[in-house]
Structure 1
Amino acid sequence: MRASLELVEERLLKAVDTDQPLLRQSGSHLIRAGGKRFRPMLTLACSHLGDPGRPNLLEAAVALELTHLATLYHDDVMDEALLRRGAPSANARWDNSVAILTGDYLFSQAAQIMSELGTEAVRLQAATFARLVRGQINETMPRPDGIDAVEWHLEILSEKTGSLIATCAKFGAWFGGADEPTIATAEEFGEVIGVAFQLADDIIDIESDTSGKTPGTDLLEGVPTLAVLYALAGSDPAEERLRALVSAPVAETDLDEALTLLRASKALDQAKETLHQYQERARTLARSLPDGPAQKALVDICDYMIERDA
């Protein structure tokens, strides 16, 4: 796994090694900033549910990570983010146009790799990307009448985060030659752990100052994370001030107070309980997979969801 991930890193940089100087620099910007490489790691781990020596696994892992990286460039433009992975975002270092075009270039590189993996791989990547975009658009729209706010939020996370991670797990098992039931279970595991991954990130945004982001970034931007939704749905008089603060983007002067109240709230406890439920669902799915190192690795990932702080 370690050797394969090193090869993934090399191929990511090779994918942006263009003769256009600015594009080469901006395209390698987030790659060199690091990151957990969770998606290629999951693809490679799930390949061990079959035969990790089969062809195209490395290419699939690289293409899916390029797809993820491309979305980060676009996300930072939409969010007007200044930092990504502890470094200036591409839009902050250059401008929005450079960031958008760099994201487009990474998408094109991912598509080129996918085209070499066959038409079914291209179809699955396109379907995944459609779900990802739909989730992103739904996040920017008012919630439809009659739909519970928490359910709507979790569905958005399934599409904009879970969908790509599900495809990473599926591609690993599929290109590894696993049987159909194993591929389907791996895909479902990926979707569930993908939602858990985002829920954990949102909790870290509230609790941690070691994540590479300024604590409370989501509060400042008015992003309705799960803890905020639970707070707004509550009726405890003791949390009335919290509800007032988070009912709109939090003013910078009120951020410390909002974080203090949210960290001590029942709403944050509820968000952690929901994360725990997703963790347990993912663990059950992982344990239903064939015994072996891959199954153990996927179970360990479920524990990592709870324990990580960045």
Structure 2
Amino acid sequence: MRKTMALDRRSVLAFAAILALPRLAVAQVAPERRRVSFLLSTAYDEPMTVARLAAMKVRLGELGWVDGRVIEYEALSCLNDPVQRKAMAKQIVARTPDLIITGGVLDAQAILNETQTIPLVFSTAADPVSSGFVQSLVRPGGNATGFTTSHPSMGSKWLEILLELAPRVKRVGVIFNPLSAPRNGDYYLDPLREMASSFGVDIIPLPISDPDNISAQIARLGGAPAGGLVVTPDAFTVLNRKAIVSAVAANAVPAVYSYHFFMSEGGLVSYGFKYESAASERSELVEAMVEYIDLILRGAKPAELPVRSPRTYQLIINLKTARSLNLTVPPVLLARADKIIE
């Protein structure tokens, strides 16, 4: 009888040990860490890049994607160099991350040249359909989805604002990067030309892909008849905004910009997608990006996530720059401004 009881105790202890083993094993195995890679044209230390990436990490952390525990990030910057961009795209794809985020159009194109399977979210693309990134805005259909930064009608809106500020302008140059501009620049040029004809204004295309050509091209707009400038959205124009604003000032050319980034350099006026809010992590772009990152990491397919467009736009006017150009800002335009720089 005692022998039987002893065996029973050993059996119970063994059974308890067996039950404990899987639990111990599970406790020792860390959850699978997801990897998200960024391919950017802007510099690592670019203030807007630093703020946006930090804000995304904060918001994703609030959703359970804690950096260093269940998710890790890799960010590569090609500084708009085509050779570096191609090499970095290959490098990122070779590491097979769970998701890739790109900055400009050329960044997205470089990744899509390397993979048709790894999920991709592009943060800026004026016309992703004509660029070949998606089949349609509603149902992208491939491994990519993301966000548009503007609409072709923005071209006429920029011209309208420019002529309100500088009604004597008769020639308007339009800067765009021919290597990345949608429809070879016509995406914005067509509506600009249509509106310009009704105002008796000539549109002058200024295709620029080499920073060394910026000053000479803008100098064409100086003198008579009075010239103005529209700077379209592109990673190239953002990266070279200091050179563009400097050349504009040197030639006393009134210019309207598509991004607020130019205003900190002394730009006259900007009208475009409102990237930032009082708290970066609550800005429209960050909220939208975080939503798609979270959905895709939880199993959603980019093919089924529609390309999203901006809901909020922002008009910023620099009165100091206006005074330097001897321009009087109409009260009606001041009343529409979301922000005025004194």
Q: Where on the TM-score scale, by shorter chain, does this alignment land: which range?
A: 0.3 to 0.5
Identify, as 1 or 2, the structure richer in helix.
Answer: 1
TM-score for the superposition, normalised by structure 2: 0.30
TM-score, structure 1 normalization: 0.33
Higher CA-based Rg:
2
